[in-house]
Structure 1
Amino acid sequence: MGEFWPVPDVLAYLAGTWRVERVVRDLAGGHRGEFVGTTVFGPLEDGGLLHHESGTFVWQGVARPAERTLRYLPGPGGTADVRFADGRPFHDLDLTSGRHVAGHPCAADLYRGEFTARDEDHWETVWRVRGPAKDLVLTTSYARVQARPRARS
């Protein structure tokens, strides 16, 4: 699992439905949470993708429904400009090498995300969040719900 899968067009790669498993570790408090759900990357009228994630988040033994929405807009050379649902900038995403590092300042906190494409049906993110009140690591694994057919040799 140490190799990267180059992705020439991140929007084409992400389109579809993915199974999501996320582990959230609070390094300061020693707590651990888990999210399990689905992410759907559906088409937007402008050629981008609407990312909608929904599932269940369990934190300190309490399960709650959770969801979020992002917009992935076309960027140069097969990249994406990722924005919050309201259009505010979040980060860029360039998986042409199979790996990308992005940052996002949020008030007094700094988010640093590492994105890795493992193969045509698996990718992951690791977000490290640091700030005056936060010291978190969020590790998310994505698996395509319906794997793409592999070419025969």
Structure 2
Amino acid sequence: MGEFWPVPDVLAYLAGNWRVRRSVRDLASGDEGEFTGATAFEALDGGGLLHRESGTFVWQGVARPAERTLRYLPGDAPGTADVRFADGRPFHDLDLTAGHWITDHPCSADLYRGEFTVYDADRWRTVWRVRGPAKDLVLTTDHTRADPA
């Protein structure tokens, strides 16, 4: 397990600014795209973090601005998080105390399976594998701290 970097408190770890690079592969069509941008995890009133991601998504040669907002709230166990969409709907749980976490998110008939891996104090990765009648995708996102301590 030397490849994982344990995180005792996921919210404390994520707080701050990150550079983001995401590859998107459509396994059905073979198409590939890429998102590049930044994510800020800022303190929320009442606890938790507001996650704001913005950048450029290039798909089939066309570049478009892209953004999303999530809420990372304190989880049921110390050091964990309950991740929610901007409108409050549940997305997934997150426990990085071992430096690695796998979680699921059902979306209509599709299933998103997320794998989170922390490499060190300033680098982590998510891989979402999406399977179902509407999608067959792999989304790999690398985060690098923009303001290392």
What range describes the TM-score normalised by the shorter chain of this pair? over 0.9
The Cα of 1:34 is off from its aligned counterpart by 0.1
Q: In the comparison of the two structures, how many residue pairs are matched?
A: 147
Letter of the 1:96 partner, please give it. T
**Which residue of the partner structure matches residue 24 of structure 1?**
24
The Cα of 1:133 is off from its aligned counterpart by 1.7
Q: Does 1:10 align with 2:10?
A: yes
C-alpha distance in 2 between matches for 1:130 and 1:46: 36
The Cα of 1:46 is off from its aligned counterpart by 1.4
Question: Where in structure 2 are the equivalents of 1:131-142 lying within 5 Å?
Answer: 131-142=132-143
Local SS of the residue matching 2:7 = coil
C-alpha distance in 2 between matches for 1:113 and 1:37: 20
The Cα of 1:116 is off from its aligned counterpart by 0.5
Q: Does 1:50 align with 2:50?
A: yes
The Cα of 1:31 is off from its aligned counterpart by 0.2
C-alpha distance in 2 between matches for 1:120 and 1:24: 25
The Cα of 1:23 is off from its aligned counterpart by 0.1
**Which residue of the partner structure matches residue 105 of structure 1?**
106
TM-score by length of 2: 0.97
Local SS of the residue matching 1:78 = coil
The Cα of 1:67 is off from its aligned counterpart by 0.1
C-alpha distance in 1 between matches for 2:128 and 2:46: 28
| Identity fraction in percent | 76
Letter of the 1:113 partner, please give it. G
TM-score by length of 1: 0.95
Runs of at least 5 residues in structure 1 that lack an aligned partner in the other structure: 149-153
**Which residue of the partner structure matches residue 81 of structure 2?**
80
The Cα of 1:122 is off from its aligned counterpart by 0.2
The Cα of 1:77 is off from its aligned counterpart by 1.4
| Dislocated runs of 4+, deviation >4 Å | none
C-alpha distance in 1 between matches for 2:133 and 2:43: 38
Runs of at least 5 residues in structure 2 that lack an aligned partner in the other structure: none
C-alpha distance in 2 between matches for 1:29 and 1:81: 33
The Cα of 1:53 is off from its aligned counterpart by 0.1
**Which residue of the partner structure matches residue 90 of structure 1?**
91
C-alpha distance in 2 between matches for 1:116 and 1:47: 24
Q: Does 1:118 align with 2:109?
A: no
Local SS of the residue matching 1:128 = strand
